[in-house]
Amino acid sequence: MTRIDTKFAQLKAAGKKAFVSYIMAGDPDMETSLAVMKALPGQGVDVIELGMPFTDPMADGPTIQLAGQRALEGGQTLQKTLDMVAEFRRGDDTTPIVMMGYYNPIYSRGVARFLTDAKAAGIDGLIIVDLPPEEDDELCIPARDAGINFIRLATPTTDDARLPKVLQNTSGFVYYVSITGITGAAAAQAAQVGPEVARIKAATDLPVVVGFGINTPETAREIAGVADGCVVGSAIVKEIAAGKTPTEVAAFAGALAAGAHSA
């Protein structure tokens, strides 16, 4: 049982949906992003997705791309991101942390070394958007063997023939991308998302959490109402980009979390 498994079991027992918040590590600098990260659980955030800044983020919209650029310009590295997690864990040993990003920085570090360091820092799961199931031997299976969940994305274009392949080595939860395209590009619609979530849940016992296109407490409630939870990224990152304080950013995330929890 990872912290992710434990958290979703607790939420299910309480009849609550999950709220997952995304921030970019090192945006706009390591100190600020760490302060935001530390403030999120107290506002009701159940799981933290921590972005790994990368120079070529192909799945990300302008908001997340700019966050990554700010982080890289501020000197953020993979090592500093692991250091952030380790520092967070000194005060919080229960909130699940999912590292999200691209394979290149992990490959450059070396998979075995990365997994050892990630586990030691306190990372519970990985979402690596550019590693398809056909490449599971690269990272997915080694991560699972190291006790780290490998969370797969399903999308509106993941048909019934493809879905079993996507699910075969997935653990923790399934991340359903509510729209086709990049992050922050359109609004999620519960009427469209609901049937897709039901289709995925018919094929797996894992929780299904929906991300992309959620930016208000009302949308968070609507989407969480047809899934096991929801993810908000771009809307929170915009607050950071606007220069809001860590307390203000966390309060904004808290309002979204309240929406999801009211579903």
Q: What CA–CA distance (Å, rounded) separates 25 from 34?
A: 8
**What phi and psi, each to the nearest 5 degrees, are found at residue 24?**
-90, 125
256 alpha carbon, distance to own chain's centre: 15
Strands 47-51 and 97-101: parallel
Positive or negative, the Cα torsion across 220, 223, 225, 230? negative
Distance CA 98, CA 49 (A): 5
Catalytic site residue from 5, 27, 46, 60 = 60
Q: How many CB atoms lie within 10 A of CB 223?
A: 31
Q: For residue 243, report the phi and psi dihedrals to the nearest 5 degrees.
A: 85, 15
From the list 5, 49, 117, 228, the catalytic residue is 49
- Omega of the bond leading into 207 within 30 degrees of 0 (cis): no
The question of whether 248 is a catalytic residue gets the answer no
Whether 92 sits among the annotated catalytic residues: the reply is no
- The residues annotated as belonging to the active site are 49, 60
